[in-house]
Structure 1
Amino acid sequence: MATPSTAIIGSTGLVGSNILSTLLALDTFNPVNTITRRAPHATSAHLNALIETDTTKWADILAGLKPTPTTVFSALGTTRAQAGSLANQWKIDHDLNIELAKAAKGAGARTFVFVSGGGTRGMISSWAPYSKMKNGVEDAVQELEFEQAIVLKPGMILGQREQNRTGESQFQTLINALGSVSGGVKDRLGQDADVIARAAVRAVQLADEGKAPSKFWIVDGDEIIKLGRTEWPGNDVAPAAPEAVKAAEQ
Protein backbone atom coordinates (compact mmCIF):
# COMPACT_ATOMS: atom_id res chain seq x y z
CA MET A 1 0.00 0.00 0.00
CA ALA A 2 1.30 3.50 -0.86
CA THR A 3 2.65 5.60 1.99
CA PRO A 4 0.20 8.45 2.71
CA SER A 5 1.12 12.08 2.08
CA THR A 6 0.73 14.88 4.59
CA ALA A 7 1.09 18.65 4.73
CA ILE A 8 2.07 20.98 7.56
CA ILE A 9 1.26 24.68 7.71
CA GLY A 10 3.25 26.66 10.26
CA SER A 11 6.20 24.28 10.21
CA THR A 12 8.74 26.98 11.07
CA GLY A 13 6.98 27.82 14.34
CA LEU A 14 7.58 26.24 17.74
CA VAL A 15 4.92 23.51 17.59
CA GLY A 16 4.90 23.15 13.82
CA SER A 17 8.65 22.53 13.64
CA ASN A 18 8.26 19.79 16.23
CA ILE A 19 5.39 18.22 14.27
CA LEU A 20 7.65 18.23 11.22
CA SER A 21 10.61 16.62 12.99
CA THR A 22 8.32 14.04 14.61
CA LEU A 23 6.80 13.02 11.27
CA LEU A 24 10.17 12.83 9.55
CA ALA A 25 11.58 10.70 12.37
CA LEU A 26 8.64 8.28 12.17
CA ASP A 27 9.00 7.93 8.41
CA THR A 28 5.25 7.23 8.21
CA PHE A 29 4.25 9.84 5.64
CA ASN A 30 5.87 10.36 2.26
CA PRO A 31 6.04 13.03 1.13
CA VAL A 32 5.80 15.46 4.04
CA ASN A 33 4.86 18.78 2.42
CA THR A 34 5.43 22.15 4.06
CA ILE A 35 4.27 25.56 2.87
CA THR A 36 6.21 28.39 4.46
CA ARG A 37 7.58 31.89 3.91
CA ARG A 38 11.08 30.68 4.75
CA ALA A 39 12.74 27.30 4.57
CA PRO A 40 12.29 24.95 7.55
CA HIS A 41 15.43 23.82 9.37
CA ALA A 42 14.64 20.12 8.93
CA THR A 43 15.94 18.17 5.97
CA SER A 44 14.89 14.79 4.62
CA ALA A 45 14.50 12.94 1.35
CA HIS A 46 10.80 12.74 2.26
CA LEU A 47 10.45 16.51 2.79
CA ASN A 48 8.88 18.63 0.06
CA ALA A 49 9.45 22.18 1.31
CA LEU A 50 7.52 24.77 -0.70
CA ILE A 51 8.55 28.39 -0.13
CA GLU A 52 6.06 31.17 -0.88
CA THR A 53 6.27 34.59 0.78
CA ASP A 54 2.76 35.53 -0.38
CA THR A 55 0.43 33.80 2.06
CA THR A 56 -2.59 34.55 -0.15
CA LYS A 57 -1.29 31.82 -2.48
CA TRP A 58 -0.99 29.14 0.20
CA ALA A 59 -4.51 27.75 -0.13
CA ASP A 60 -4.09 27.24 -3.87
CA ILE A 61 -0.70 25.59 -3.30
CA LEU A 62 -2.22 23.27 -0.71
CA ALA A 63 -5.12 22.40 -3.00
CA GLY A 64 -2.74 21.60 -5.83
CA LEU A 65 -0.45 19.19 -3.98
CA LYS A 66 -0.04 15.78 -5.61
CA PRO A 67 -0.54 13.27 -4.21
CA THR A 68 -3.30 14.87 -2.15
CA PRO A 69 -2.33 14.92 1.55
CA THR A 70 -4.44 12.51 3.58
CA THR A 71 -3.72 14.61 6.68
CA VAL A 72 -3.15 18.35 6.99
CA PHE A 73 -1.69 19.88 10.16
CA SER A 74 -2.03 23.60 10.88
CA ALA A 75 0.08 25.07 13.65
CA LEU A 76 -0.14 28.46 11.98
CA GLY A 77 -0.31 31.48 14.26
CA THR A 78 1.26 34.84 14.98
CA THR A 79 1.00 37.64 17.54
CA ARG A 80 -0.41 41.11 17.30
CA ALA A 81 3.10 42.54 17.70
CA GLN A 82 4.54 40.39 14.91
CA ALA A 83 1.59 41.05 12.60
CA GLY A 84 1.64 44.79 13.26
CA SER A 85 -2.01 45.08 14.26
CA LEU A 86 -4.95 43.06 15.49
CA ALA A 87 -6.50 43.23 12.01
CA ASN A 88 -3.39 41.70 10.44
CA GLN A 89 -3.21 39.03 13.13
CA TRP A 90 -6.85 38.15 12.41
CA LYS A 91 -5.99 37.67 8.72
CA ILE A 92 -3.41 35.02 9.64
CA ASP A 93 -4.75 33.33 12.76
CA HIS A 94 -8.38 33.29 11.66
CA ASP A 95 -8.93 33.98 7.96
CA LEU A 96 -5.92 32.12 6.54
CA ASN A 97 -6.44 29.09 8.77
CA ILE A 98 -10.06 28.81 7.63
CA GLU A 99 -9.07 29.28 3.99
CA LEU A 100 -6.48 26.50 4.34
CA ALA A 101 -8.99 24.18 6.03
CA LYS A 102 -11.44 24.75 3.16
CA ALA A 103 -8.67 24.08 0.62
CA ALA A 104 -7.73 20.86 2.42
CA LYS A 105 -11.35 19.71 2.44
CA GLY A 106 -11.86 20.61 -1.20
CA ALA A 107 -8.71 18.73 -2.22
CA GLY A 108 -9.91 15.58 -0.47
CA ALA A 109 -7.86 15.50 2.73
CA ARG A 110 -9.40 13.06 5.20
CA THR A 111 -7.99 14.49 8.45
CA PHE A 112 -7.39 18.08 9.53
CA VAL A 113 -5.43 18.90 12.68
CA PHE A 114 -5.55 22.41 14.15
CA VAL A 115 -3.35 23.58 17.01
CA SER A 116 -5.61 26.02 18.86
CA GLY A 117 -5.37 27.28 22.44
CA GLY A 118 -6.76 26.33 25.82
CA GLY A 119 -9.32 28.26 27.82
CA THR A 120 -10.92 30.04 24.88
CA ARG A 121 -14.51 29.00 25.61
CA GLY A 122 -14.92 30.50 29.07
CA MET A 123 -17.75 32.94 29.77
CA ILE A 124 -15.31 35.85 30.01
CA SER A 125 -12.30 34.59 28.03
CA SER A 126 -14.41 33.85 24.95
CA TRP A 127 -14.79 37.59 24.36
CA ALA A 128 -11.05 38.15 23.99
CA PRO A 129 -9.86 38.71 20.39
CA TYR A 130 -7.44 35.77 20.67
CA SER A 131 -10.26 33.46 21.75
CA LYS A 132 -12.56 34.69 18.99
CA MET A 133 -9.89 33.91 16.40
CA LYS A 134 -9.23 30.41 17.70
CA ASN A 135 -12.89 29.59 18.31
CA GLY A 136 -13.81 30.80 14.84
CA VAL A 137 -11.31 28.43 13.25
CA GLU A 138 -12.42 25.52 15.45
CA ASP A 139 -16.06 26.09 14.48
CA ALA A 140 -15.21 26.33 10.79
CA VAL A 141 -13.20 23.09 10.90
CA GLN A 142 -16.09 21.32 12.60
CA GLU A 143 -18.57 22.62 10.02
CA LEU A 144 -16.41 21.34 7.15
CA GLU A 145 -17.05 17.78 8.37
CA PHE A 146 -13.74 16.14 7.64
CA GLU A 147 -13.69 12.39 8.09
CA GLN A 148 -11.61 13.25 11.16
CA ALA A 149 -10.94 16.65 12.71
CA ILE A 150 -8.54 17.03 15.63
CA VAL A 151 -8.17 20.24 17.64
CA LEU A 152 -5.38 20.52 20.18
CA LYS A 153 -5.93 23.04 22.98
CA PRO A 154 -2.69 23.39 24.95
CA GLY A 155 -2.08 25.86 27.75
CA MET A 156 1.11 27.89 27.59
CA ILE A 157 3.31 26.41 24.87
CA LEU A 158 6.70 25.82 26.45
CA GLY A 159 9.94 25.86 24.50
CA GLN A 160 12.53 28.12 22.94
CA ARG A 161 11.20 30.27 20.11
CA GLU A 162 13.40 31.81 17.44
CA GLN A 163 11.76 35.16 18.13
CA ASN A 164 11.56 35.96 21.83
CA ARG A 165 8.21 37.03 23.27
CA THR A 166 9.01 38.92 26.48
CA GLY A 167 5.79 38.38 28.42
CA GLU A 168 5.56 34.75 27.33
CA SER A 169 9.20 34.15 28.27
CA GLN A 170 8.58 35.46 31.78
CA PHE A 171 5.52 33.25 32.18
CA GLN A 172 7.48 30.24 30.94
CA THR A 173 10.12 30.92 33.58
CA LEU A 174 7.42 30.94 36.25
CA ILE A 175 5.83 27.72 34.99
CA ASN A 176 9.19 25.95 34.84
CA ALA A 177 9.93 27.11 38.39
CA LEU A 178 6.61 25.68 39.56
CA GLY A 179 7.43 22.51 37.61
CA SER A 180 10.57 22.02 39.67
CA VAL A 181 8.29 21.76 42.71
CA SER A 182 5.40 19.87 41.09
CA GLY A 183 5.35 18.41 37.60
CA GLY A 184 1.56 18.17 37.81
CA VAL A 185 1.22 21.92 38.30
CA LYS A 186 3.43 22.56 35.27
CA ASP A 187 1.43 20.12 33.14
CA ARG A 188 -1.83 21.86 34.00
CA LEU A 189 -0.52 25.32 33.09
CA GLY A 190 1.55 24.54 30.01
CA GLN A 191 2.91 21.79 27.83
CA ASP A 192 6.24 21.44 26.04
CA ALA A 193 6.11 22.02 22.28
CA ASP A 194 7.56 18.59 21.49
CA VAL A 195 4.90 16.92 23.65
CA ILE A 196 2.13 18.89 21.91
CA ALA A 197 3.56 17.87 18.54
CA ARG A 198 3.73 14.18 19.46
CA ALA A 199 0.17 14.36 20.80
CA ALA A 200 -0.98 15.74 17.44
CA VAL A 201 0.77 12.94 15.55
CA ARG A 202 -0.40 10.26 17.97
CA ALA A 203 -4.00 11.46 17.69
CA VAL A 204 -3.76 11.04 13.92
CA GLN A 205 -2.34 7.54 14.37
CA LEU A 206 -5.21 6.57 16.65
CA ALA A 207 -7.75 8.08 14.27
CA ASP A 208 -6.27 6.07 11.41
CA GLU A 209 -6.69 2.96 13.56
CA GLY A 210 -10.36 3.79 14.14
CA LYS A 211 -9.74 4.68 17.80
CA ALA A 212 -10.65 8.37 17.82
CA PRO A 213 -13.40 9.02 20.38
CA SER A 214 -15.23 11.40 18.07
CA LYS A 215 -15.27 12.67 14.51
CA PHE A 216 -14.47 16.10 15.96
CA TRP A 217 -11.90 15.38 18.66
CA ILE A 218 -10.84 18.03 21.18
CA VAL A 219 -7.47 17.20 22.77
CA ASP A 220 -6.87 19.41 25.80
CA GLY A 221 -3.95 19.76 28.22
CA ASP A 222 -4.37 16.52 30.16
CA GLU A 223 -4.85 14.46 27.01
CA ILE A 224 -1.92 16.21 25.34
CA ILE A 225 0.32 15.00 28.16
CA LYS A 226 -1.19 11.53 27.90
CA LEU A 227 -0.81 11.13 24.13
CA GLY A 228 2.43 13.05 23.71
CA ARG A 229 4.38 11.84 26.70
CA THR A 230 2.83 9.24 29.01
CA GLU A 231 1.58 6.90 26.29
CA TRP A 232 3.86 7.90 23.44
CA PRO A 233 5.14 4.67 21.84
CA GLY A 234 8.49 3.76 23.29
CA ASN A 235 7.66 4.97 26.79
CA ASP A 236 7.15 2.52 29.61
CA VAL A 237 3.37 2.79 29.40
CA ALA A 238 1.92 1.08 26.32
CA PRO A 239 -0.18 3.38 24.11
CA ALA A 240 -3.93 3.05 24.37
CA ALA A 241 -6.95 4.64 22.80
CA PRO A 242 -8.30 7.81 24.47
CA GLU A 243 -11.10 7.28 26.95
CA ALA A 244 -13.39 10.17 26.13
CA VAL A 245 -13.66 13.38 24.23
CA LYS A 246 -14.39 16.63 26.05
CA ALA A 247 -16.72 19.32 24.81
CA ALA A 248 -15.23 21.77 22.27
CA GLU A 249 -13.82 24.83 23.82
CA GLN A 250 -2.56 27.92 20.18
Structure 2
Amino acid sequence: MARVLITGATGLVGGELLQLLQAEPQVTAIIAPTRKPLPPHSKLENPVGDDLSALLAALEQPVEVVFCCLGTTRRQAGSAAAFRYIDYQLVVETALAGRRLGAQHCLVVSAIGANPHSLFLYNRTKGEMEQALCAQNWPSLTLVRPSMLLGRAKPRLLEWLSVPLFALLPGKWRSIAAKDVAQTLLTQAFRSDNGVKILESDQLR
Protein backbone atom coordinates (compact mmCIF):
# COMPACT_ATOMS: atom_id res chain seq x y z
CA MET A 1 0.00 0.00 0.00
CA ALA A 2 1.40 3.40 -0.88
CA ARG A 3 1.04 7.10 -0.30
CA VAL A 4 1.92 9.09 -3.42
CA LEU A 5 2.73 12.69 -4.27
CA ILE A 6 1.69 14.13 -7.63
CA THR A 7 2.24 17.57 -9.15
CA GLY A 8 0.59 18.66 -12.37
CA ALA A 9 -2.66 16.90 -11.47
CA THR A 10 -4.74 19.53 -13.28
CA GLY A 11 -2.90 18.99 -16.57
CA LEU A 12 -3.60 16.59 -19.42
CA VAL A 13 -1.48 13.61 -18.32
CA GLY A 14 -1.74 14.50 -14.64
CA GLY A 15 -5.53 14.54 -14.76
CA GLU A 16 -5.62 11.10 -16.36
CA LEU A 17 -3.10 9.79 -13.83
CA LEU A 18 -5.06 11.21 -10.90
CA GLN A 19 -8.14 9.23 -11.93
CA LEU A 20 -6.07 6.06 -12.21
CA LEU A 21 -4.49 6.62 -8.81
CA GLN A 22 -7.90 7.14 -7.21
CA ALA A 23 -9.05 3.78 -8.59
CA GLU A 24 -5.82 1.92 -7.78
CA PRO A 25 -6.13 -0.41 -4.73
CA GLN A 26 -2.40 -0.16 -3.96
CA VAL A 27 -2.71 3.60 -3.42
CA THR A 28 -4.02 4.62 0.00
CA ALA A 29 -3.44 8.39 -0.16
CA ILE A 30 -2.76 10.93 -2.90
CA ILE A 31 -1.11 14.24 -2.03
CA ALA A 32 -1.75 16.64 -4.91
CA PRO A 33 -0.82 20.30 -4.37
CA THR A 34 -2.51 22.51 -6.99
CA ARG A 35 -3.35 26.12 -7.72
CA LYS A 36 -7.05 25.35 -8.14
CA PRO A 37 -9.04 22.91 -5.98
CA LEU A 38 -9.56 19.41 -7.31
CA PRO A 39 -12.85 17.49 -7.01
CA PRO A 40 -12.93 15.87 -3.56
CA HIS A 41 -12.10 12.18 -3.19
CA SER A 42 -11.67 9.94 -0.17
CA LYS A 43 -7.98 9.30 -0.96
CA LEU A 44 -7.13 12.87 -1.92
CA GLU A 45 -5.20 15.45 0.11
CA ASN A 46 -5.25 18.66 -1.95
CA PRO A 47 -3.21 21.61 -0.61
CA VAL A 48 -4.19 24.67 -2.67
CA GLY A 49 -2.23 27.84 -3.30
CA ASP A 50 -0.53 29.97 -5.96
CA ASP A 51 3.00 29.10 -4.79
CA LEU A 52 3.72 25.43 -5.54
CA SER A 53 7.20 25.73 -4.02
CA ALA A 54 5.68 26.76 -0.71
CA LEU A 55 3.08 23.99 -0.85
CA LEU A 56 5.80 21.40 -1.44
CA ALA A 57 7.96 22.78 1.35
CA ALA A 58 5.05 22.54 3.79
CA LEU A 59 4.45 18.82 3.19
CA GLU A 60 5.39 16.62 6.14
CA GLN A 61 3.72 13.22 5.80
CA PRO A 62 5.84 10.45 4.17
CA VAL A 63 5.26 9.17 0.65
CA GLU A 64 6.57 6.15 -1.23
CA VAL A 65 6.20 7.34 -4.83
CA VAL A 66 6.33 10.77 -6.47
CA PHE A 67 4.90 11.67 -9.87
CA CYS A 68 5.59 14.91 -11.72
CA CYS A 69 3.37 15.74 -14.68
CA LEU A 70 4.17 19.46 -14.84
CA GLY A 71 4.66 20.96 -18.27
CA THR A 72 3.87 24.01 -20.34
CA THR A 73 5.15 25.89 -23.38
CA ARG A 74 6.99 29.19 -23.69
CA ARG A 75 3.88 30.75 -25.21
CA GLN A 76 1.61 29.57 -22.41
CA ALA A 77 4.09 30.58 -19.72
CA GLY A 78 4.59 34.03 -21.22
CA SER A 79 8.39 34.08 -21.28
CA ALA A 80 11.44 31.84 -21.46
CA ALA A 81 12.12 32.41 -17.77
CA ALA A 82 8.56 31.49 -16.75
CA PHE A 83 8.70 28.38 -18.93
CA ARG A 84 11.96 27.23 -17.33
CA TYR A 85 10.56 27.88 -13.86
CA ILE A 86 7.71 25.43 -14.50
CA ASP A 87 9.45 22.82 -16.64
CA TYR A 88 12.76 22.81 -14.79
CA GLN A 89 12.66 24.41 -11.35
CA LEU A 90 9.29 23.12 -10.17
CA VAL A 91 10.00 19.64 -11.50
CA VAL A 92 13.29 19.53 -9.60
CA GLU A 93 11.57 20.85 -6.47
CA THR A 94 8.85 18.20 -6.77
CA ALA A 95 11.48 15.47 -6.87
CA LEU A 96 13.42 16.95 -3.95
CA ALA A 97 10.24 17.13 -1.89
CA GLY A 98 9.60 13.48 -2.65
CA ARG A 99 13.13 12.55 -1.56
CA ARG A 100 12.70 14.51 1.67
CA LEU A 101 9.46 12.67 2.38
CA GLY A 102 11.08 9.27 1.85
CA ALA A 103 9.96 8.36 -1.67
CA GLN A 104 11.95 5.60 -3.36
CA HIS A 105 10.64 6.03 -6.91
CA CYS A 106 10.26 9.23 -8.93
CA LEU A 107 8.35 9.21 -12.23
CA VAL A 108 8.44 12.28 -14.47
CA VAL A 109 6.86 13.30 -17.75
CA SER A 110 9.62 14.71 -19.97
CA ALA A 111 9.33 14.99 -23.76
CA ILE A 112 10.55 13.45 -26.96
CA GLY A 113 13.81 15.03 -28.05
CA ALA A 114 14.93 15.98 -24.53
CA ASN A 115 18.58 17.00 -24.89
CA PRO A 116 20.60 19.32 -22.62
CA HIS A 117 22.69 20.38 -25.64
CA SER A 118 19.77 21.20 -27.94
CA LEU A 119 19.60 24.58 -29.65
CA PHE A 120 15.87 24.68 -28.88
CA LEU A 121 14.75 26.00 -25.50
CA TYR A 122 12.04 23.38 -25.00
CA ASN A 123 14.21 20.34 -25.70
CA ARG A 124 17.20 21.81 -23.87
CA THR A 125 15.16 22.56 -20.75
CA LYS A 126 13.73 19.04 -20.70
CA GLY A 127 17.22 17.59 -21.09
CA GLU A 128 18.65 19.74 -18.31
CA MET A 129 15.74 18.75 -16.09
CA GLU A 130 16.48 15.07 -16.71
CA GLN A 131 20.14 15.64 -15.85
CA ALA A 132 19.21 17.36 -12.59
CA LEU A 133 16.94 14.50 -11.57
CA CYS A 134 19.60 11.90 -12.35
CA ALA A 135 22.01 13.84 -10.13
CA GLN A 136 19.61 13.32 -7.19
CA ASN A 137 20.59 9.61 -7.16
CA TRP A 138 17.12 8.16 -6.89
CA PRO A 139 16.84 4.44 -6.08
CA SER A 140 14.40 4.33 -9.02
CA LEU A 141 13.89 7.12 -11.55
CA THR A 142 11.54 6.74 -14.53
CA LEU A 143 11.53 9.36 -17.28
CA VAL A 144 8.85 9.13 -19.97
CA ARG A 145 9.25 11.01 -23.25
CA PRO A 146 5.91 11.21 -25.06
CA SER A 147 5.49 12.64 -28.53
CA MET A 148 2.54 14.92 -29.30
CA LEU A 149 -0.18 14.25 -26.72
CA LEU A 150 -3.75 13.53 -27.71
CA GLY A 151 -6.78 14.02 -25.52
CA ARG A 152 -7.20 17.76 -24.96
CA ALA A 153 -10.81 18.96 -25.07
CA LYS A 154 -9.53 22.09 -26.82
CA PRO A 155 -6.27 21.32 -28.67
CA ARG A 156 -3.74 24.11 -29.08
CA LEU A 157 -3.67 25.55 -32.61
CA LEU A 158 -0.30 24.02 -33.48
CA GLU A 159 -1.46 20.66 -32.13
CA TRP A 160 -4.70 20.84 -34.10
CA LEU A 161 -2.76 21.55 -37.30
CA SER A 162 -0.15 18.85 -36.60
CA VAL A 163 -2.37 15.96 -35.47
CA PRO A 164 -2.88 14.47 -38.97
CA LEU A 165 0.89 14.52 -39.61
CA PHE A 166 1.89 13.06 -36.24
CA ALA A 167 -0.66 10.28 -36.61
CA LEU A 168 1.25 9.06 -39.67
CA LEU A 169 4.77 9.30 -38.31
CA PRO A 170 6.61 6.06 -37.47
CA GLY A 171 7.81 4.75 -34.13
CA LYS A 172 8.38 7.14 -31.27
CA TRP A 173 7.38 10.20 -33.30
CA ARG A 174 3.74 9.14 -33.66
CA SER A 175 1.27 11.03 -31.46
CA ILE A 176 0.09 9.30 -28.28
CA ALA A 177 -2.97 9.49 -26.05
CA ALA A 178 -2.41 11.12 -22.67
CA LYS A 179 -4.24 8.26 -20.99
CA ASP A 180 -1.65 5.81 -22.37
CA VAL A 181 1.15 7.87 -20.84
CA ALA A 182 -0.70 7.97 -17.52
CA GLN A 183 -1.27 4.22 -17.56
CA THR A 184 2.43 3.62 -18.18
CA LEU A 185 3.34 5.84 -15.23
CA LEU A 186 1.02 3.91 -12.94
CA THR A 187 2.26 0.52 -14.17
CA GLN A 188 5.92 1.50 -13.79
CA ALA A 189 5.39 2.98 -10.32
CA PHE A 190 5.01 -0.38 -8.64
CA ARG A 191 7.74 -2.28 -10.49
CA SER A 192 10.83 -3.25 -8.53
CA ASP A 193 13.36 -1.99 -11.11
CA ASN A 194 16.26 0.06 -9.79
CA GLY A 195 18.24 2.82 -11.46
CA VAL A 196 17.23 5.17 -14.27
CA LYS A 197 14.72 4.06 -16.88
CA ILE A 198 13.93 6.19 -19.94
CA LEU A 199 10.85 5.25 -21.94
CA GLU A 200 10.42 6.73 -25.40
CA SER A 201 7.01 7.43 -26.81
CA ASP A 202 6.65 4.16 -28.73
CA GLN A 203 7.21 2.27 -25.45
CA LEU A 204 4.28 4.02 -23.74
CA ARG A 205 1.42 2.50 -25.73
TM-score for both structures, normalised by structure 1 = 0.76
Q: How big is the shift at 1:187?
A: 6.5
- Cross-structure match for 1:65: 60
Deviation at 1:161, TM superposition (A): 4.6
Looking at CA atoms only, which structure, 1 or 2, has the larger radius of gyration?
A: 1
Say if 1:185 and 1:157 are closer, same or farther in 2 by CA, change over 3 A: same
**Residues of 2 paired with 1:11 and 1:171: CA distance?**
25
Other-structure match for 2:119? 127
Counterpart of 2:27?
Answer: 29
2:18 alignment counterpart: 20
Where does residue 221 of structure 1 map in the other structure?
201
The farther-off stretch of 28-37 and 47-56 is: 47-56
* Structure 1 residue identity aligned to 2:159: E
Residue 120 to residue 27, structure 1, CA distance change in 2 (3 Å): same
Instruction: Please state how far the C-alpha of 1:122 moved relative to its aligned partner.
Output: 9.2
Instruction: Show CA shifts across 1:147-194 (max 9, x none).
Output: 1111001111111156x4211222124434x4xxxxx84874121000
Structure 1 contact 175–186 (Cα < 8 Å) conserved: no
1:104 maps to a residue whose letter is G
Q: C-alpha distance in 1, partners of 2:115/2:133?
A: 16
**1:38 touches 1:51 (CA, 8 Å); kept in 2?**
yes
Amino acid at match of 1:154: P
Question: Deviation at 1:119?
Answer: 1.6
**Which of 41, 50, 54 is residue 44 of structure 1 equivalent to?**
41
Alignment partners' CA distance in 1, 2:6 and 2:121: 25
TM-fit CA distance, 1:69: 1.2
Cα 1:174–1:142 change in 2 (3 A) is: same
Whether the 8 Å contact between 1:80 and 1:86 is mirrored in structure 2 is yes
- How far off its partner does 1:59 sit? 2.8
**Which residue of structure 2 lines up, in the alignment, with residue 152 of structure 1?**
144
Q: Is the 8 A contact 2:33 2:56 kept in 1?
A: no
Aligned to 2:166: 175
Structure 2 partner of 1:204: 189
Question: 2:198 aligns to what SS in structure 1?
Answer: strand
Counterpart CA distance in 2 for 1:122 and 1:190 is 23
How far the C-alpha of 1:140 sits from its partner, in A, is 1.1
Q: How many residues of Structure 1 are paired with residues of Structure 2 in the alignment?
A: 205
One-letter amino acid matched to 1:65 = E
1:56 has 2:41 as partner: no
Q: Is 1:80 aligned with 2:74?
A: yes
Q: CA deviation at 1:118?
A: 0.8
- Structure 1's unaligned 5+ residue stretches are 179-183, 226-250
Percent same amino acid among aligned pairs? Answer: 26
Identify if the C-alpha distance between structure 1 residues 198 and 131 changes in structure 2 by more than 3 Å, giving closer, same or farther.
same
SS at match of 1:133: helix
Structure 2 residue ranges without an equivalent (≥5): none
**Alignment partner of 2:142: what SS?**
strand
Q: Distance in 1 between matches of 2:60 and 2:164?
A: 41
Q: Counterparts of 1:77 and 1:166 in 2: how far apart (Å)?
A: 17
TM-score normalised over the length of structure 2: 0.91
188-197 or 4-13: bigger deviation: 188-197
**Alignment match of 2:157 (pick from 151, 166, 170):** 166
Q: What is the RMSD computed on CA atoms of the aligned residues?
A: 2.0
- The answer on whether the counterparts of 1:13 and 1:76 sit within 8 Å (CA) in structure 2 is yes
Q: Tell me, in whole angstroms, the C-alpha distance in 2 between the residues paired with 1:198 and 1:59.
A: 25
Structure 1 ranges of 4+ moved more than 3 A: 173-176, 184-188
